A and B are shown apart, each in its own frame.
Chain A
Amino acid sequence: MEIDVRHIAKLSYLKIEDDEIETYQKQMSDIIQMVEALPDQADFDAKPRVEDAMQLREDEIRPSTPRDKLLQNAPQVEAGCVIVPKTLE
């Protein structure tokens, strides 16, 4: 089965060089082939189950993180904001 490696790379925001396409193609196909051998479970019900219910959080305010601490890892910061290349508006 042919996997559109270029399209998947685009969706993944990754650049795959031309000479790597074939390797990816092969390695991904190998795994997909393995996957296709999975038995069908026709009667499977994907609905969420009550037994798996989670506790919901009460609507109570907690302190936020000081801005400097929060943005200390950001590659580029100006005026208390993270900076990215201009987005199209």
Chain B
Amino acid sequence: MELIQKTAAQLHRLLRDREITAAEITDAVFAQIAACEPQVQSYLALTEASARKTAALVDQKLAGGEDLPPLAGIPIAVKDNLCTEGVTTTCASKMLYNFVPPYSATVVKKVEENLLPITGKVNLDEFAMGSSCENSHFQKTRNPHDLSRVPGGSSGGSAASVAAGEAVLALGSDTGGSIRQPASFCGIVGLKPTYGAVSRYGLVAFASSLDQVGPMARSCEDAAMLFSAITGADEMDATSCDRGHRADYRDYLARDVKGMTVGIPKEYFGEGIDEEVSSAVMQAAQVFRSLGAQVKEVSLPSSPHALSAYYIISSAEASSNLARFDGVKYGYRSEHYQNLQEMYVNTRTEGFGAEVKRRIMLGTYVLSSGYFDAYYKKGKAFQSALCAEFDACFAGCDFLLTPTVPQTAFKLGENIDDPVKMYKSDICTVPVNIAGLPALAMPCGRDKQGLPIGMQLIGPHFGEDVLLSAGHHYEQATGYQFTVPAIASK
């Protein structure tokens, strides 16, 4: 079996047993990048030299008999909205086309401390706003399962690189579904952690109260390993916190699903959800039942409104977070101006893409004088009501099971002119961010065209252990095996 088909956990065991070297893994991944990148276009920047240096260090330490972190030597791609000291961090925006941060994100530092070779920076929708990766200023990443389709977004480059074998793991970020939706479209595993479980320091903010960094991987075990490496309170992020979990989430994977209760929120299976998607998720429910779990229908009546609340809160915060891009301290500055006001306006007008401008405008509007109570406050009120509904569900369930996305990957250009239609691909994922909960997206079958279908397991606050163990048992029960799709492995 080729190295690029293996999971991080498998590669770790091979490394530990000295059957392969980290250099060989890195070689294989960069060879795959060379082969696929012209079609897939996941990467905005490659950091091959430093990746090889890390791999060599791992081999040297292994040869010296040192005990290394489990992910040492496993190549990882980093979404280009995570700051990397000395390496451009563009957010796929013209606005930051030349931005080289003088600091690294806390998650990036943790990845480096765990000795994962970083392969490069991967594509996204500009400033993580979008569901298709088509909003990147630089390139349109393709879905490795069908190059005419989108990989999803905003972490489309992360998902596509892992699916195509161009990286074994990836870091993504999720504000309304940006890890889970592309994971679903590309047939991989993505974990959106509980708000606060992973430091946001160095993640270029889109919507601060909703953003979370999380792992994208080939199996639940891989996701557990990467999550273990990046979770924990960070003194640089006042919104991060610890909940006293084990350092290694693999310890939880063996925990039995038997006796668990799986809630099926009926609102996530109705109108707007493709028949094939609903039935695949219902079949997964049967798998959990066969594993000894109890499956019951529950209700989250407010869910259909979550998208509205999401657009208010996320746009409001984005309008403020993105006001700092003004051509003064870093990034793009317009060449056309006579005075300060013109410099601001022209820099921002030329530097931001259409979707980003739309969200800034919307956010400015909902916060503007006279509208705050009608919109922002109403959105926050809704948020607390939705949290209460989730809490009520978790009083009687261990986790909830829903589709990740209402449909499978769509074609490039299909939704680009209709923002509302595009936004609707987030209806199953957005409530999770609004409530600050953890959710695991993972493959649960294919549609008639052979495109991956994803399911979403939603847990209570800091219930990542439950989600990862349930997902792991599902993989075991169904004999799931990650494979790089043929189109990309040529």
B299 contacts partner chain A, Cβ-Cβ < 8 Å: no
CA–CA, A16 and B362, complex, Å: 13
Nearest chain A residue, comparing its CB with the CB of B331 = A73
Of residues 332 to 355 in B, which have CB atoms within 8 Å of A's CB atoms? Answer: 333, 337-340, 342-346, 348-349, 352
If the complex has contacts A5-B361, A24-B361, are A86 and B319 also in contact, measured as CB distance less than 8 A?
A: no
Q: Which of the residues A14, A34, A46 comes within 8 Å of B377, measured between beta carbons?
A: A46
If the complex has contacts A34-B307, A85-B343, are A44 and B384 also in contact, measured as CB distance less than 8 A?
A: yes
B98/A13 in contact, CB under 8 A: no
B365/A28 in contact, CB under 8 A: yes
CA–CA, A85 and B103, complex, Å: 28
CA–CA, A46 and B342, complex, Å: 38
Q: Is the interface of B mostly helix, strand, loop or mixed?
A: helix
Residues of B within 8 A of A35 (CB): 308-309, 311-312, 366, 375, 378-379
A75/B327 in contact, CB under 8 A: yes
Residues of A within 8 A of B328 (CB): 74-75, 82, 84
B100/A72 in contact, CB under 8 A: yes
Q: Give the tally of cross-chain contacts (CB within 8 A).
A: 132
Residues of B within 8 A of A74 (CB): 328-330
B331/A12 in contact, CB under 8 A: no
B361/A28 in contact, CB under 8 A: yes
Q: Which of the residues B345, B362, B377, B419 comes within 8 Å of A13, measured between beta carbons?
A: B345
B380 contacts partner chain A, Cβ-Cβ < 8 Å: yes
Interface string of A36-68 (1 = CB under 8 A from B): 011111001010000000110100000001000
A70 contacts partner chain B, Cβ-Cβ < 8 Å: yes
If the complex has contacts A13-B345, A84-B343, are A3 and B308 also in contact, measured as CB distance less than 8 A?
A: no
B419/A54 in contact, CB under 8 A: no
How many positions in chain B have a CB within 8 Å of any CB in the partner chain?
Answer: 57
B68 contacts partner chain A, Cβ-Cβ < 8 Å: no
B362/A85 in contact, CB under 8 A: no
Residues of A within 8 A of B339 (CB): 85-86
Q: Which of the residues A13, A31, A40, A71 comes within 8 Å of B323, measured between beta carbons?
A: A13
Distance between B393 CB and nearest chain A CB, rounded to angstroms = 18
Distance between B35 CB and nearest chain A CB, rounded to angstroms = 34
B288 contacts partner chain A, Cβ-Cβ < 8 Å: no
Residues of A within 8 A of B238 (CB): 54-55
If the complex has contacts A13-B345, A41-B384, are A3 and B365 also in contact, measured as CB distance less than 8 A?
A: yes
Interface string of A16-39 (1 = CB under 8 A from B): 100000001001101110110111
CA–CA, A85 and B338, complex, Å: 8
CA–CA, A41 and B385, complex, Å: 8
